[in-house]
Chain A
Amino acid sequence: GAVVSQHPSWVICKSGTSVKIECRSLDFQATTMFWYRQFPKQSLMLMATSNEGSKATYEQGVEKDKFLINHASLTLSTLTVTSAHPEDSSFYICMNGGGRSYNSPLHFGNGTRLTVT
């Protein structure tokens, strides 16, 4: 099945810096990539939907200028956390989708643990 490769698996950065997270679909051209955030003991919360060649769609309450999403190719989507603050510390996960049957398996990346100091 389709595999999603997410990097880095963890990152520690200082407050005010930017961090880029990459998700690659290795054997499936994902026209759509979903980005989630997960706080401890909480469910995955959808942040934005990334569409190849067009602007991402952000969920209510998610700042699009803070969480920049780029989906320039069918196999690569990136999430950049700009001017990170400690409250941005979380587990970020991507999931590929789009172009599949609604009953197809969903494939998640392994997640990125972001810690902002």
Chain B
Amino acid sequence: KNQVEQSPQSLIILEGKNCTLQCNYTVSPFSNLRWYKQDTGRGPVSLTIMTFSENTKSNGRYTATLDADTKQSSLHITASQLSDSASYICVVSPDRGSTLGRLYFGRGTQLTVWP
């Protein structure tokens, strides 16, 4: 069964601290993995996208890693800011065709950054 599991479910950190969010998946075949940030009441916004051949990708203070062998990904946030408070969603795509196919969404990690 294709699944995407994220941990922790929620996380509270102090402003300025770093944190790491985890995503484990069983989706097969695997095409790419995306991390999204979703503010409350808003649509998800893309942070990173990695294909099976990529191990790491950065976007500002966000760094995502991917181990396609163990089917694990992490999202590391450095020097957290209050505006980082949001839900972070891991999305896995199994298709490698020319068009977008079914996507598998994790439930997200709710991050709260306190001043």
Contacts and interface: CB of A to CB of B under 8 A. Distances in A.
B98 A101 contact: yes
Interface string B15-45: 0000000000000000110101000011111
A105 B98 contact: no
Q: From DSSP, what is the main secondary structure of chain A's interface residues?
A: loop
Contact of A113 (B41, B91, B106, B107): B41
B62 to A, nearest CB: 14
Contact of B106 (A10, A43, A45): A43
Interface string B92-115: 010111111111011110100000
Nearest to A42: B107
B43 A111 contact: yes
Given A32-B100, A102-B32, A43 B89 contact: yes
User: Which size bracket describes the interface of A in this complex?
Assistant: 20 to 34
B98 A108 contact: no
A111 B41 contact: yes
Contacts of A109: 43
B10 to A, nearest CB: 9
Interface stretch (A12-20, A70-78, A79-87, A90-98): A90-98
A9 to B, nearest CB: 8
Given A102-B32, A103-B49, A93 B99 contact: no
Contact of B102 (A6, A46, A93): A46
Nearest 7 pairs of A and B residues by beta carbon: A108-B43, A43-B105, A97-B100, A110-B43, A43-B107, A44-B105, A111-B43
24 contacts: A10-B41, A32-B99, A43-B4, A43-B105, A43-B107, A43-B108, A44-B44, A44-B105, A45-B105, A98-B99, A99-B99, A100-B99, A100-B100, A102-B31, A103-B49, A103-B51, A104-B100, A105-B46, A106-B34, A106-B91, A106-B103, A108-B36, A108-B44, A111-B41
